[in-house]
Amino acid sequence: MTATELGLLHAAIAVIAFLYSAVGHAGASGYIAVLTLAGLASAVVRPTSLVLNILVATLTSFQFWRAGHFSWARFWPFAALSVPGAFVGGYIDVPTEIFKALIGGVLLLSAARFAVRTADPGETRPPSRPTALLVGAALGLLSGLTGTGGGVFLTPLMLLLGWARTKETAAVSALFILVNSIAGLTGFLSSGRPLPTFTWGLAVVAVVAGFAGSYLGSRRFPVRTIRLLLAVVLLIAGTKLLFGF
């Protein structure tokens, strides 16, 4: 990889980290797409994406919590069964191309919805505990099958069903992504495979951009801006799932 190509890769990682962290995500689908398009092997792409996801999700969780948007009562029912669900999803060996295309289409439709409807709903109503537990398990399984932290599925679901406001949803999604990404990286490391040294240079860029994005998203950006950025994030994630890069 030439110096120019490496610089472009770092810039792309920075943009992804900034956009995703501003809406309570960490960037897994964007990192995977960018790293794959850069011609890196899957043995490098997967662990690198997980490390970047964990670092950015940690910053994002902290920023949205510190800004007063996080609710433990909203978070834990979704997270309780998501980690074992993600573990199972990562080990299931089934054809997923049609499945990914379907989910990608749903994300693109959600992106269009958020691009048009940029205001929070007037009232919100959290789901019942059994519903949240089942949703968390299903989304954990989905995150394992698709190689993401699950936030790109949880966020639009919570907003479209009126379960929380935009910044509350971002705070829940950030920690949801963090615990699932840690589970994924733990599984990777337990197999005895090392982390690529290539990862750490990208990590510095992702941390700086993630800090800036999560700070602005949690404290400065109005809801309209966050929803428009969310539309961009879902567009990236949906395109990645549809076209497989």
Distance CA 239, CA 241 (A): 5
What local confidence, expressed as pLDDT, does residue 186 receive? 80
**What is the CB neighbour count within 10 angstroms for residue 40?**
16
What ranges do the domains of the chain cover? 3-243
CA atoms within 13 A on the CB side of 60: 36
The predicted model scores a pTM of 0.87
C-alpha–C-alpha distance, residues 97 and 243, integer Å: 9
Residue where the block lists tokens 């610089």:
7
pLDDT tens, residue order, the chain (245 aa): 788 888 999 999 999 999 999 999 998 888 988 888 888 887 788 788 889 999 999 999 999 999 999 999 999 999 999 988 888 877 765 565 666 776 788 788 888 877 777 677 678 899 999 999 999 999 988 887 776 788 888 999 999 899 999 999 999 999 999 998 888 788 777 777 778 888 888 999 999 999 999 999 999 999 889 989 989 998 888 888 788 66
